[in-house]
């Protein structure tokens, strides 16, 4: 049995937060959460070396593989209660849900819904798609529904997505539930000022590449869907070529909504932290789709833990001990501050504090 004080604290935390999990599941999950937080890696070998377990490397790797093969390890029972408690203090606030998809090593196609938090975001639900390419409406609604169920009462929700999530069916689904939608649409989308007016491509409404177009109460596509509000602006694609970015929304098309819409990009920071900026998920070596989705579970718990520790460090005025950035220009994110604090404590052989709550 593991004897590490950090393992003991983690096991107690998981036992309290996951009432439906079996003791054997808690034990292995706690080992992996500790290993994830200490190694900040998704590689099976590195995770095994960081597990506080007095046995061989091969035995530890085999234990990890058994958890990844266990179909009874689910987000619903083994992660969502942790996320729900972390967000408990959000009551009455406006929150941003961000939906996006990341392709890792051209193998794993992961659909993710996160909640925006301090220029970062925290994953609430994810799905390993069985195909390459864009996600479908059914998966999008299912994942958003799972994420919405984790939010506390009386929150005001804005849902952000890029043009992959442009379907009018998804927009209507969001609005039927009383939430605000900010969903991307392509620049070639047809737009008309009235239901029976002439329609032209949205890009035609942007002759000036240095401004943002704010269009209220317009109609889209040949079907004249609307009225909706549109924000559109010129940007550059990955090859540096000009491209129109646009968002359809029920919110007023003005500069405040434009600034709000920029929060969609906060989910990109999670993808960086999952890859080169943190856990290097793209180097996990796990190729099976379901096993990879299960590997995310302890990593995401460790991610929540490290972000919460980073916030704890900042709130207590300790940031300057690990981050030399100016007061209004941090060098590190909360996740990186959490990792830096973990390393600082390690040099004194001290363990990470058990801080898993973001909003109090």
Domain annotation for the chain: domains and CATH numbers? 5-73+286-347 (no CATH), 81-271 (3.90.350.10)
Q: Going residue by residue through the chain (360 aa), what tens digit of pLDDT does each one get?
A: 666 889 999 999 999 999 999 999 999 999 999 999 999 999 999 999 999 999 999 999 999 999 999 999 999 999 999 999 888 877 778 899 999 998 888 889 999 999 987 777 889 999 999 988 899 999 999 999 999 999 988 889 999 999 899 999 999 999 999 999 999 999 889 999 999 888 889 888 887 778 888 999 999 988 888 899 999 998 887 788 888 889 999 999 999 998 888 877 777 777 778 777 789 888 888 999 999 999 999 999 999 999 999 989 988 999 989 988 776 666 788 888 999 999 999 888 888 899 898 766
* pLDDT recorded at residue 297: 95
Residue with tokens 């129109």: 244
For 331, the token pair is 């060098």
Neighbours of 240 (CB within 10 A): 7
Are 342 and 38 spatial neighbours (Cβ–Cβ below 8 Å)? yes
Which residues pair with residue 110 across a beta bridge?
102, 128
pTM to 2 decimal places = 0.90
For 197, the token pair is 């007016």
The DSSP annotation for 228-259 comes to EEEEEEEEE-TTS-EEEEEEEESS--SHHHHH
* CA dist., res. 62 & res. 98, Å (int): 35
Neighbours of 256 (CB within 10 A): 10
* pLDDT recorded at residue 360: 61
Mean pLDDT of the chain: 90
Share of the chain residues as helix, strand and coil, in percent rounded to the nearest 5 = 45, 20, 35
* pLDDT recorded at residue 32: 96
* pLDDT recorded at residue 103: 87
* CA dist., res. 162 & res. 22, Å (int): 39
* CA dist., res. 269 & res. 41, Å (int): 17
């Amino acid at each position: 049995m593991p004897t590490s004080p950090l393992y003991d604290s983690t096991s107690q935390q998981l036992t309290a937060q996951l009432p439906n999990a079996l003791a054997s599941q808690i034990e292995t999950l706690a080992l992996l959460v500790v290993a994830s937080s200490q190694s900040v890696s998704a590689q099976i070998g590195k995770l095994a070396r960081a597990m506080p377990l007095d046995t061989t490397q091969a035995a530890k790797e085999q234990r990890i593989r058994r958890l990844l093969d266990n179909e009874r390890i689910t987000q619903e029972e083994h992660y969502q209660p942790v996320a729900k408690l972390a967000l408990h203090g959000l009551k009455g606030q406006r929150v941003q849900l961000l939906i996006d998809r990341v392709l890792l090593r051209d193998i794993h196609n992961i659909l993710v819904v996160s909640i925006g938090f301090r220029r970062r975001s925290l994953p609430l639900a994810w799905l390993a798609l069985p195909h390459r390419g864009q996600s479908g409406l059914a998966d999008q609604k299912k994942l958003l529904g799972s994420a919405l169920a984790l939010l506390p009462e009386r929150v005001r929700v804005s849902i952000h997505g890029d043009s992959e999530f442009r379907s009018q069916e998804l927009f209507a689904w969001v609005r039927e539930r009383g939430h605000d939608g900010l969903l991307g649409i392509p620049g070639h989308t047809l737009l008309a000022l009235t239901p029976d007016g002439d329609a032209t491509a949205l890009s035609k409404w942007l002759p000036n590449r240095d401004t943002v177009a704010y269009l209220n109460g317009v109609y889209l596509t040949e079907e004249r869907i609307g009225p909706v509000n549109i924000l559109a602006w010129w940007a550059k694609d990955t090859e540096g070529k000009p491209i129109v970015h646009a968002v359809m929304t029920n919110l007023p098309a003005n500069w405040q909504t434009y600034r709000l819409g920029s929060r969609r990009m906060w989910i990109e920071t999670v993808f960086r932290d999952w890859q080169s900026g943190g856990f290097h998920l793209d180097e996990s070596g796990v190729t099976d789709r379901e096993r990879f989705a299960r590997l995310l579970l302890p990593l995401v718990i460790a991610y929540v833990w490290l972000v919460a520790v980073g916030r704890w460090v900042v709130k207590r005025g300790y940031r300057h001990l690990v981050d030399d950035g100016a007061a209004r220009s941090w060098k590190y994110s909360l996740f990186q501050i959490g990792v830096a604090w973990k390393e600082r404590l390690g040099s004194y052989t001290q363990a990470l504090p058990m801080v898993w709550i973001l909003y109090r």
